[in-house]
């Protein structure tokens, strides 16, 4: 883990420095190139490496029984609800790792409140968050990767982690003058040399006279070499020792490349042979199974015909019974309809009979009952009493009226006498 943390590429350092200065998903970028859409994939890969440095697999995933996210988990939409819960869990754990107390969010908490708390903690670290909180509710995207990456950097700062310079291993020089790598040839190099030779041959013009002269010289040289070989005085033991010494250097090893078309062709041939060998075995089993199924179907057909021939009269009887049953059901439906109609008529007649009985009872009770006469007599006596009372009231009113008239008359006479006497008195003076 320490060795992996110590090796950092220059591009990774530039990305880390740019993010530490605030250049991330949260700030507005004036000029966004064509690769800006894929920047969150780079940020997500860096985030995974930082989480591994923080040992999130042992401290978070195993404790909460969570699956480890893939390298592009928060960059691509897969399951928004699951991604949002994973984002809140990782953010809370990173805030706690950075030395701040933050409660672990639950599944049924308010997402808006959780997002606002996470953004407030992010701003408290001095990081900018110039984007709407709704961008984090989806659980994936550029802003989610930016927030988690900033919190991971703060957690690494809190634990005192620093990026070290890369340490390269020291290569030991081999004793042999010719390394084995120079003697090894790959398929790509062979193809390139072959293409270069073809281009060189196409560019050069061939002269027939020159070609004949070259072939004549080659024939002379070969004949001379053959004579030299025949007359050679080299010791066989020394020759074999030299061959054993030079043999490892002359070894040609072709490195296999899974992307090479020759490997694919060999694999296709292997698969073809495997399919053919498996087809021979399975074809026999399938043919046997086909024959058994055919015989079974023939037996089933013959048994069916036999049963139909044996039970034909029972089937006819059953069909006749079914026809009779359908006719009986139709008659029952018709009779049931007539019964319901007659029941309705009976209920109507019964209601009319009840009304007539009630009217007859009322008339009979009124003819034999003396209650009306008693009521009439009582009303007559009451009227008489009321007339007597009215007569008394009328007499009282007449008496009161007479007294008021007499009183008024006396008052008028007194007034008249009072007016006459003063006039006579004034005349005597």
**Tokens 């002359």 sit on residue:** 250
pLDDT at res. 395: 92
* pTM, entire model: 0.35
pLDDT per residue over 192-236, tens digit each?
554 455 444 444 444 455 555 666 666 666 555 555 455 567 778
Q: 8-36 burial string, b = 16+ CB within 10 Å, else e?
A: eeeeeeebbeebeeeebbbeeeeeeeeee
pLDDT at res. 275: 92
Domain boundaries, the chain: 37-159
Res. 5: pLDDT tops 50: no
Q: For 35-92, give the secondary structure using H, E and C.
A: CHHHHHHHHHHHHHHHHHHCCHHHHHHHHHCCCCCCCCCCCCCCCHHHHHHHHHHHHH
Burial label for 94, CB within 10 Å (0-12, 13-18, 19+), is: buried
Mean pLDDT of the chain: 76
Residue 242 CA to residue 239 CA, distance in Å, equals 5
pLDDT at res. 219: 63
pLDDT at res. 424: 52
pLDDT per residue over 343-390, tens digit each?
999 999 999 999 999 988 888 777 776 777 788 889 999 999 999 999
Residue 111 CA to residue 95 CA, distance in Å, equals 17
Residue 401 structure tokens: 């009226």
Per mean pLDDT, which range of 147-151, 172-176, 263-267 is the poorest? 172-176
Q: How much is the average pLDDT of 384-400?
A: 93
pLDDT at res. 26: 38
pLDDT per residue over 119-128, tens digit each?
888 888 888 8
Q: Percentage of the chain with pLDDT > 90?
A: 20
Q: Which residue has the higher pLDDT, 344 or 109?
A: 344
Q: Which residue has the higher pLDDT, 343 or 186?
A: 343
pLDDT per residue over 45-99, tens digit each?
888 888 888 888 888 888 777 888 888 888 888 888 888 888 888 888 888 888 8
pLDDT at res. 324: 93
pLDDT at res. 258: 63
pLDDT at res. 30: 40
pLDDT per residue over 279-319, tens digit each?
888 988 899 999 999 999 999 999 999 888 888 888 899 99
DSSP letter for 229, please.
Answer: H
DSSP letter for 91, please.
Answer: H
């Amino acid at each position: 883990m320490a060795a992996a943390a110590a090796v950092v590429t220059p591009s990774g350092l530039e990305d880390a420095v740019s993010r530490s200065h605030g250049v991330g998903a949260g700030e507005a970028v004036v000029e966004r190139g064509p690769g800006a859409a894929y920047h969150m994939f780079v940020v997500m890969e860096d985030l995974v490496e930082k989480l591994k440095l923080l040992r999130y697999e042992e401290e978070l995933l195993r404790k909460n029984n969570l699956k480890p996210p893939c390298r592009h988990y928060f960059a691509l939409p897969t399951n928004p609800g699951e991604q949002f819960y994973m984002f809140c869990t990782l953010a809370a754990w990173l805030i706690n790792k950075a030395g701040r107390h933050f409660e672990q969010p639950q599944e049924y908490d308010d997402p808006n409140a959780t997002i606002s708390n996470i953004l407030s903690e992010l701003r408290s670290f001095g990081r900018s968050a110039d984007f709407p909180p709704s961008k984090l509710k989806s659980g994936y995207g550029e802003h989610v990767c930016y927030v988690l990456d900033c919190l991971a950097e703060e957690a690494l700062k809190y634990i005192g982690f620093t990026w070290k310079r890369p340490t390269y291993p020291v290569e030991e020089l081999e004793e042999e003058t010719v390394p084995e790598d120079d003697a090894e040839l790959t398929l790509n190099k062979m193809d390139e040399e072959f293409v270069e030779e073809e281009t060189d041959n196409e560019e050069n013009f061939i002269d027939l006279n020159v070609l004949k002269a070259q072939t004549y010289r080659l024939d002379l040289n070969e004949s001379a070499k053959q004579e030299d070989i025949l007359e050679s005085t080299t010791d066989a033991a020394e020759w074999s020792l030299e061959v054993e010494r030079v043999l490892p250097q002359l070894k040609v090893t072709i490195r296999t490349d899974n992307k090479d078309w020759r490997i694919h062709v060999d694999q296709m041939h292997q698969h073809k042979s495997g399919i053919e060998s498996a087809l021979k075995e399975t074809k026999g089993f399938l043919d046997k199974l086909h024959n058994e199924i055919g015989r079974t179907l023939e037996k089933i057909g013959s048994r069916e015909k036999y049963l139909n021939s044996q039970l034909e009269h029972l089937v006819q009887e059953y069909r006749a019974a079914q026809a009779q049953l359908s006719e009986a059901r139709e008659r029952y439906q018709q009779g049931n309809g007539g019964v319901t109609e007659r029941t309705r008529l009976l209920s109507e007649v019964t209601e009319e009979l009840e009304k007539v009985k009630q009217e007859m009872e009322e008339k009979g009770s009124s003819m034999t009952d003396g209650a009306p006469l008693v009521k009439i007599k009582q009303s007559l006596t009451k009227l008489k009493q009321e007339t007597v009372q009215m007569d008394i009231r009328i007499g009282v009113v007449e008496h009161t009226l007479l007294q008021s008239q007499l009183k008024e008359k006396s008052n008028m006479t007194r007034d008249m006498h009072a007016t006459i006497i003063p006039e006579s008195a004034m005349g005597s003076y």
